[in-house]
């Protein structure tokens, strides 16, 4: 069965760069119409310039009112929403739990988990009315193994998995599916930057830190952001029509993180 989804109306959060941009690009390549958002105007200007089937809104998904406007903009631009890709997220602080500020904890949960709730809350009525829809939530491989010094990030992304299962059960009778993708070590500027920064912090070479990461990945691989986009397209296509409530790793099997 074809994974092309020409004509579907897709809302992608944080689609201006990184994994989000790759997701936008893969949906456009599959023939979809895409409305996206970001917090940086320059990113939005660039992504909109790439194709006439891309529209965008400046929005912070951690702010409920901005999400309400975002969804209204998407419906106005595309006539509805068939697919929601909840991609927006932040890394949050790196520190011992007792040293994390209340504000940093709240902001990380607010964007990574609450933001997905806000988006689903506002998109769900449109999907229920048409009795169909696909929601894909981007979590992380770290949700499987935990990660010291990153408690707000991991807690938020584990919360995403609980939200995914609950939405799948609650909205399945309306023909709405919900799955989570768990990316691993992403081969882009941000991913490479994390490895380089941690190498400096640990007083080792970048190659040594990369080897430490890859030691505990079964396939010893980095992940191209486009692979995450292709998986999202598959889940939204007719080929994925009976897939729901799943946590799907796009990570080469991350066994552990140090």
Is 154 strand, coil or helix? helix
63 vs 246: CA distance, rounded Å: 27
Helix, strand, or coil here: 160?
Answer: helix
82: left (phi over 0), alpha (psi -120 to 50) or beta: alpha
CB 38 within 8 A of CB 140: no
SS3 202: helix
Q: Tokens standing for 124?
A: 């769900």
Judged by DSSP in three states, 98 sits in helix
Please say if 102 is a catalytic residue: no
Distance in angstroms between the alpha carbons of the first and the last residue of the chain: 40
CB atoms within 10 A of CB 210: 17
> On the CB side of 165, how many CA atoms lie within 13 Å of its CA?
6
Selecting among 102, 118, 153, 171, the annotated active-site residue is: 153
Active site residues: 153
């Amino acid at each position: 069965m074809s994974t092309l989804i020409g004509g579907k109306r897709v809302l992608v959060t944080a689609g201006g760069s990184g994994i989000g941009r790759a997701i936008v690009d893969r949906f456009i390549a599959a023939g979809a119409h895409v409305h996206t958002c970001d917090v940086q105007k320059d990113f939005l200007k660039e992504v909109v310039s790439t194709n006439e089937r891309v529209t965008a809104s400046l929005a912070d998904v951690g702010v409920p009112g901005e999400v309400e406007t975002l969804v209204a903009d998407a419906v106005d631009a595309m006539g509805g929403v068939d697919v929601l890709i909840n991609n927006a997220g932040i890394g949050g602080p790196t520190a011992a739990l007792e040293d994390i500020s209340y504000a940093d904890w709240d902001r990380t949960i607010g964007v990574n988990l609450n933001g997905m709730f806000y988006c689903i809350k506002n998109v769900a009525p449109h999907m229920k009315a048409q009795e169909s829809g696909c929601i894909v939530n981007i979590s992380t491989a770290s949700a499987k193994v935990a990660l010291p010094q990153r408690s707000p990030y991991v807690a938020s992304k584990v919360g995403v998995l609980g939200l995914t299962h609950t939405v799948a059960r609650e909205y399945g009778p309306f023909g709405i599916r919900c799955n989570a993708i768990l990316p691993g070590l992403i081969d882009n500027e941000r991913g490479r930057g994390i490895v380089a920064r941690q190498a400096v912090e640990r007083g080792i070479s970048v190659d040594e830190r990369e080897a430490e990461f890859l030691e505990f990945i079964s396939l010893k691989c980095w992940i191209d952001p486009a692979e995450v986009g292709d998986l999202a397209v598959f889940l939204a296509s007719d080929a994925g029509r009976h897939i729901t409530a799943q946590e799907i790793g796009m990570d080469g099997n991350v066994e552990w993180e140090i």
